[in-house]
Amino acid sequence: MQKLEHIGIAVKNLAEANELFARLLGREHYKVEEVESEGVKTSFFDLGGVKIELLEAIRDDSPIAKFIEKRGQGVHHLAFDVKDIESSIQHYQEQGFEFIKAEPKQGADNKLICFLHPKSTQGVLVELCQDNVKARQ
Ligand code: ZN
């Protein structure tokens, strides 16, 4: 793990959450992006290199819709920067961690991402992310 890259927060209404977090953080979000494969719309706030990612479901079968249904709005995941996501996946598997799906996929903010299963991380959903520009040459 290189650093905490962002904290993901599940919200019901992205427009309302953007307004609230702008007041809370004292700055505006710098981008909004839809990740069709995950069924989410996201927005990002930058706090000195660590980001807050707000996530709103755009479909009922989105993982965010299911999360909010079960647990309500709130902190959804912690994302950590890794240099090489494939070797990180292998490393953590060797360490006995389980993944939701042990292969990188395209996430928001030009990242390759992968989630560890929360049952192997004491209930915390952990995302590994790698800058896509640094991906395979
Ligand atoms: Zn994330």
**Structure confidence at residue 37 (pLDDT):** 86
- List pLDDT tens digits, range 16-64: 999 999 999 999 999 999 999 889 999 999 999 899 999 999 999 999 9
Say how many Å lie between the CA of residue 102 and the centre of ligand 1.
Answer: 16
Compute the residue count for the chain: 137
Q: Are 82 and 129 in contact (CB under 8 A)?
A: yes
Say how many Å lie between the CA of residue 94 and the centre of ligand 1.
Answer: 23
**Structure confidence at residue 135 (pLDDT):** 44
Which pTM does this prediction carry?
0.92
- 80 forms beta bridges with 4, 128
Encoded amino acid at 18, one letter: N
- Copy the structure tokens of residue 110: 């030009």
Say how many Å lie between the CA of residue 36 and the centre of ligand 1.
Answer: 14
Say how many Å lie between the CA of residue 6 and the centre of ligand 1.
Answer: 6
- List pLDDT tens digits, range 56-99: 999 999 999 999 999 999 999 999 999 999 999 999 999 999 99
The contacts found for 117-125 with CB under 8 angstroms, 24 or more apart, are: 120/96, 121/97, 124/77, 124/78, 125/8, 125/76, 125/77, 125/78
Residues around the ion ligand 1 (C-beta < 5 A): 8, 53, 79, 127
